[in-house]
Amino acid sequence: MENYESKKLADIEKDLQTDFKKGLTQEQVDKKLLSDGKNELPVARVTPWYRTFLLAFIEPLQIILIIAAIISVVAPIVANKTGHMSFHDFIDFIVIIAIVIIDAILETVQTVKARKSVDALKALSKPRSVVIRDGQQKEIDAADLVVGDIVVLEAGKYVPAELRIIKASDFMIDESILTGESVPVDKHANKISPTVILAEKKNIAFMSTFTTAGRGIGVVIATAINSEIGKIAAAVNSNEDEHTPLEKKLTSFSYWISCAAAFVGVTIFAAMLFTGDRNAWANYLMVAITLAIGVIPESLAAVVSITLSFSTKRMAKENVIVKKLASVETLGSVNVICTDKTGTLTQNKMTVQKVIVNNKIITQKDYVKLPSSLQKELFLKSLVLPNDSVTEGTERIGDPTELALVDYAELMGIDEQKSRELWLRTDEIPFDSERKLMTTVNEIDSKQVTFTKGAIDQLLKVCSRIILNDQIINLTDEHRHEILKSATTLSDDALRVLAFAYSDDINQTKANYEANLIFVGAVAMIDPVRIEAVQAIEEAHAAGIRVVMITGDHAITALAIARDLDLAYTPYEVMSSEALERYSEEELLRVIDNIKVFARVNPDHKVRIVNALQKKGNIVSMTGDGVNDAPSLSKADIGVAMGITGTDVAKQAADVILTDDNFATIMKGVNEGRNVYQKIKRAIVLLMGFNLANVVSIFVISMILHVSPLEATNILFINLIVESCLAIAIGMGPLDDTLMLLPPKFGKNGLLKGSLLPIVKIGLFSGAASILAFFVGMEAVDIKVWGAIDESSWYTFFKTTSNLTLTDKIQFISFGRTAMFITTVSSPLLFAHLIKLSNWQANRKVNWTISMPLVYASLIALGLGMIVTFIPGINDNIFGLVHYGTKEIDGRMLQGWNAQNIWLIFASFGMALIAPLGILLTDAIVFYSYHLAPKSWQTNRELVLKMLEADRKEEIAQAKKNKQIKK
């Protein structure tokens, strides 16, 4: 856009081929609409639900599951060397595909629900605009505005396009959604020097900002995508969706798993082929495929989606809407939060904080408590009479500064509307930027009383007397010095000072309304911080999260707010936009770790800040509500928009929306995110540890017997039913709040980092228990039924008898398979409760939290396992387990469960205790060695940490003390 702020009005009128008095003709408008298009912001394309559903099938983990499903159909055909297929051959395929479809449905439903929540937050109104065309004033749809149109603006109206002001009368605009500056800007029609800082373009009205006072006329200089708002919207829409850290880790993990499964399958097949009968290659291939399936955690995708889905529901109840499932985990990984000030850390509501009365500074609360007096009566009238703002219920109309005065008056029982009805305004001199004063004349007790408010330095120039201790005396230079000194003290703390005076001189005329006034007092106000934001920042620091404030306000104001938030204390921690412009990328990277506040920034500055923090290896969250926040919301690893005051553009750019506009709520999201990641890691430890146990046990037994002890159906039942029940229950478990006492996990931390030892422990203990269970179970085999002529062991008979076909061998080991199956199903029901990955190192007290969802899941999994093991028809025909009684198979009367072998069931349950007892014992040893065993290095380390923490607390206390002294 051209530098219209520095051009003369006559040149602008000529360049835009318009007439400032008559406006454009309809013919000109029609031509420009054809060439430039409607004045509408670009809207991002919405991915249809069916595309989201289909895309879920091509994610790496889903592809692996589909391949596993295909293998489960192909494997029996290859092993049996026949094309004959039965329903039994499709059971595994159906189960796996069902898991894939359910996972895709969950992801699609969550995405659509989040989108509907966002749509419900959008404004429903269609903006209108008053323009001058063909010499006539008319109201049109803002979408029909074109460059060169003359737009008329009044207080309470949104600016419909980018305007160069050509006339202004006490014209003020709230630009906080664009610049982040909380105080409305006084606009004028004079040309200014060219500037890139939007907040300093005092003769430009920006699209979508809000007029708060006065009247203005402007010429449209940019519409739609060419406006500052449009450029931001276009930049947000052009950004490609980047994968979240969790998605990247899951993708990497899925590739790793697929390679591991292929390696295990090929290795086992080759080992068995070269050590056994090569004519039995089909059987070896079946064993290899079974083991490969055993490596793949088929239920992981469903576990992750269900865990995230439960978390998003829980977060929705906490006023956090998550637009994308994987964004939940990203919140937990954040180690830097960049936040807008206005409306996010502050209340976005100017509030009186201090009062200057009797030449002293007191708090607004102390002034409220003062008894009634002449000064207080006049002060209360000064708050509401020279004031045009109105409050009624939730409706608040007017300048934020004047609204603050009305709010303060209401604290003392004064209603502005009743006061104005009682003391009617008979005359006035409106506020203007040159005088910096506003004066009204009100009729009080049949007398004309003048009330003036404005900048304290300008007001003192027109005052000749002062009320001190309820006495009216002459205003001396010493009095002026004391008042200005107090005002300077307040201004240094970024408070905006407004002063009041009055006159009841009966000889006053309009020419001298603002002369010989009596100084009453002054107020100091600011947009105060949210109390909950202070607590949230403290919580963030405790969690190892750095908070960076980014604002459009001046550096002094920003630092004052930062002090109140315990965020920054010195000017060295604040960087202005001018300094940011001077810094190269390399220079910015060197200093950015020391900067806690960025002031007077433009939207493109915010993107640059976020980008620099990301280059330093940080996971960055950006919170905000204005259009000016949208590009950085989109650029950040996770963008968090405000749902109430947030603009549509900001909500569109964000990944998460806070429906209560409370910065503190984001910390609840961080806690949930950390717990989600922890739960997913616990589920992975369970799945991978148990799969490792299956691989170890099947590998060992297969290498000994050259036949798989478990069938693919057994493995899939264990993986998809038993493991899934437990893993999903882990995701539904209670939150571990101690995670907020740890620094965030960021950088190149894979899903397996810190989890290998628990996985190996589970794999070895559970694998050993399964192997032992198999060989104990084989002791229940009656080998005489199989044709043994002596009392040789089952192993000798199995290895030396050549009459056993593959089918015979599979049937022969049914007792061993059953015992191994019972142990394998039962063992994780116990050790799933022992998988602890939280900060046990930080606390000597073992805090066991019983997860009721996990208890219920264990009982359900146990029940399903017993059904499979003992229900006739299911146990033998589908899962190849031991049947009941005597059964004739291929001419042999094979014994099933009877009084002589019932002991095996109890023995199998007993061997299921090996893994949890082994895990419990090793964890106890590690816990003792870490916390209780004497270690000089640890003692020294704790002493150093305590000394550093004491120094840090002392520095903070001193900074707070200095701040209080200053105030």
Instruction: Show which residues are catalytic.
Output: 340
- Could you give the angle at which helices 281-295 and 60-80 cross, rounded to 10 degrees? 160
Give Cα 397 to chain centroid, integer Å. Answer: 33
For residues 668 and 303, the answer to whether their CB atoms sit within 8 Å is no
For residues 198 and 228, the answer to whether their CB atoms sit within 8 Å is yes
393: left (phi over 0), alpha (psi -120 to 50) or beta: left
Residues 6 or more apart from 850 whose CB is under 8 A from it?
none
H or E element, residue 340: strand 336-340
H or E element, residue 91: helix 91-121
CA separation (Å) from 541 to 474, 614, 744? Answer: 53, 19, 11
Pull the structure tokens for residue 141: 């749809």
Give Cα 780 to chain centroid, integer Å. Answer: 58
Task: Give the C-alpha separation, 478 to 487, whole Å.
Answer: 14
Alpha helices in 172-280 (DSSP H): 176-179, 228-238, 245-275
Burial, 107: exposed, middle or buried (Cβ in 10 Å; 0-12, 13-18, 19+)? buried
What three-state secondary structure class fits 353? Answer: strand
- 234-238 — which CB contacts under 8 Å span 24+ positions? 234/42, 235/630, 235/631, 235/634, 236/44, 236/630, 236/631, 236/633, 236/634, 236/649, 236/652, 236/653, 237/42, 237/43, 237/44
What three-state secondary structure class fits 392? Answer: strand
For residues 776 and 904, the answer to whether their CB atoms sit within 8 Å is yes
Apex CA 880: angle with CA 718 and CA 890, to 5°? 170
For residues 686 and 830, the answer to whether their CB atoms sit within 8 Å is no
Bridge partners of residue 887, in order along the sequence: 894
Find, among 640, 646, 558, the residue nearest to 336 by Cα: 640
Task: Return the HEC string of 915-962.
Answer: HHHHHHHHHHHHHHHHHCCCCHHHHHHHHHHHHHHHHHHHHHHHHHHH
User: Which residue is it, tokens 């865990």?
Assistant: 307
Bridge partners of residue 502, in order along the sequence: 451, 518
For residues 449 and 441, the answer to whether their CB atoms sit within 8 Å is yes
One-letter amino acid at 286 equals M
- Could you give the angle at which helices 663-705 and 281-295 cross, rounded to 10 degrees? 160
Give Cα 558 to chain centroid, integer Å. Answer: 24
Residues 6 or more apart from 745 whose CB is under 8 A from it?
333, 677
CA separation (Å) from 131 to 49, 146, 222? Answer: 41, 11, 15
Burial, 326: exposed, middle or buried (Cβ in 10 Å; 0-12, 13-18, 19+)? buried
First to last CA, the chain: 44
Using only C-alpha atoms, the chain has a radius of gyration, in whole angstroms, of: 38
Q: Hey, which bits of 834-890 come out as E strands? A: 886-889
